[in-house]
Each structure stands twice: as structure tokens, then as C-alpha cells.
Chains A and B, each alone.
Chain A
Amino acid sequence: GAVVSQHPSWVICKSGTSVKIECRSLDFQATTMFWYRQFPKQSLMLMATSNEGSKATYEQGVEKDKFLINHASLTLSTLTVTSAHPEDSSFYICSARGPPFSSYNSPLHFGNGTRLTVT
């Protein structure tokens, strides 16, 4: 089946530093990947849609300069949290749509998420 790998699974960084999270589709090509964020006991909130070869589409309220998304290949999207602050501490999770790709109702395949803690 379609596998999405996310790395790292957890990271602790100091306030003001930047953190990069990678999301890879291992056995399929993903022209579109989605980045979600989840606070404790809250739902998965879509942050942005990552499009291969073009700019990401950000949801309202998400700072594009703070959460940099790069989708340079059909199997890799990265999310960089720049100048991280403690309020950015959260669970970040990526997903990609599995086959059949032509159907927008194809289920999403999720990575295992990244727990970011900013001290």
C-alpha cells in the first residue's frame, strides 16, 4: 500500500532556531501533499497544501513566511518552521493522496507525525 514517511518523529529545539520536517512518499508519486497541525485534544487542522513544482497554498491564518514549504520532487515535501517559538510546539503531520490519484476522494495516507517542542 501507499506509504508516507515523515522525519524526524520528534524534535526539541531552542526558541529562535529553525526546524525542518521531511515528508516522503515511499512507493508512489505525490504531486500534492498536505501539512496538518494538531494541538492536544483538538482536530487535525490543515495548514497548507504542498504542490510539486509550485508554491504552496496556505490556509487562512497560517503565516507562509513562518512555515516554509518546499515540494521539490514528486516524493518529497518539507516544512520548515522558522524562528520557532514555544507556541509553535505542536504535532505536525503530513499526508499525501494515495491512488487512484484522479479521484479527490482517494483516502489520504499519513506520515507518523513530528512532535515539535520549542524551549
Chain B
Amino acid sequence: DQQVKQNSPSLSVQEGRISILNCDYTNSMFDYFLWYKKYPAEGPTFLISISSIKDKNEDGRFTVFLNKSAKHLSLHIVPSQPGDSAVYFCAASARQGGSEKLVFGKGMKLTVNP
């Protein structure tokens, strides 16, 4: 059962335009959400996060929106740059019995064309 879903495997946008990456989750116990970015042959790097008590978090060109009622979050990148081309993973976290569970989506490949 895929608890974190990134239904679109890829997205291609033009440089300067907005990139919108979507993520859906099924477990209502998730209370923290993160986006990681991964270049080929490298490990994922943390990009931005949001707590379930918020509906928006912004960091420079990156903004994450959370809609708890819809169990949906999205990452907006504006303006998009060619260097943003990478695989983006959505992740959700929940505490379970004193430990945590961090579940990743399958990732989405973003290509920003010059």
C-alpha cells in the first residue's frame, strides 16, 4: 500500500516558468512533510518541509503548500531554473510508539528546459 503517492513520474517546464510537483498521502497520522531533491549518482538532499499545523512554508524560490483535508501537498518552484532538473521525492513522517516512520513517494523527475 503506497502511503505517499507521487502520481506523475515526470514533469517538463520551461526556464523561468513555475514548476508544480504534487504529492498525496493516505495516512492521517502523518504530521510532518518533507521534499528531497536527488541528482543522479548522489543521495537525496533536503529541500523544504512543512508541519501539519501550517498550510504554507516558503523558502526562496520554493514554496510547499499543505491541504490536510485533501491529504495533498505540493511543491512550487518559481522561477524554475535548469539547475532544478532532478528527481524530487515527497516524504511524510509520523510518530509510532516512540519511534518515527518516514515514508517516501516514488519520486518525480523534473526537467527544466533552457
Q: A residues near B, CB below 8 A?
A: 4, 6, 9, 34, 36, 41-46, 49, 57, 93, 95, 104-105, 107-113
Residue of A36, A105, A112 with highest tally of chain B CB at under 10 A:
A105
Interface residues on chain B, size class:
20 to 34
Would you call A105 and B43 a contact (CB within 8 A)? Answer: no
* CB proximity to A under 8 Å, residues B59-92: 89
Chain A residue with the shortest CB-CB distance to B46:
A107
* CB proximity to A under 8 Å, residues B19-73: 32, 34, 36, 41-46, 49, 51
Chain A residue with the shortest CB-CB distance to B44:
A110
Known pairs A104-B100, A105-B32; A44 contacts B44 (CB<8 A): yes
Q: B residues near A, CB below 8 A?
A: 2, 4, 9, 32, 34, 36, 41-46, 49, 51, 89, 93, 95, 99-107
Contact among B4, B99, B107 for A49, CB-based, below 8 A: B99
Name the A residues within 8 Å of B45 (CB-CB). Answer: 110
Q: How far is the CB of B53 from chain A (nearest CB, A)?
A: 12
Residue of B44, B99, B104, B107 with highest tally of chain A CB at under 10 A:
B44
Would you call A112 and B49 a contact (CB within 8 A)? Answer: no
Chain B residue with the shortest CB-CB distance to A4:
B43
Would you call B106 and A105 a contact (CB within 8 A)? Answer: no
Contact among B36, B42, B43, B95 for A104, CB-based, below 8 A: B95
Residue of B45, B100, B102, B103 with highest tally of chain A CB at under 10 A:
B102
Q: How far is the CB of A4 from chain B (nearest CB, A)?
A: 7
Would you call A105 and B44 a contact (CB within 8 A)? Answer: no
Bound CA–CA A34/B102 (angstroms): 10
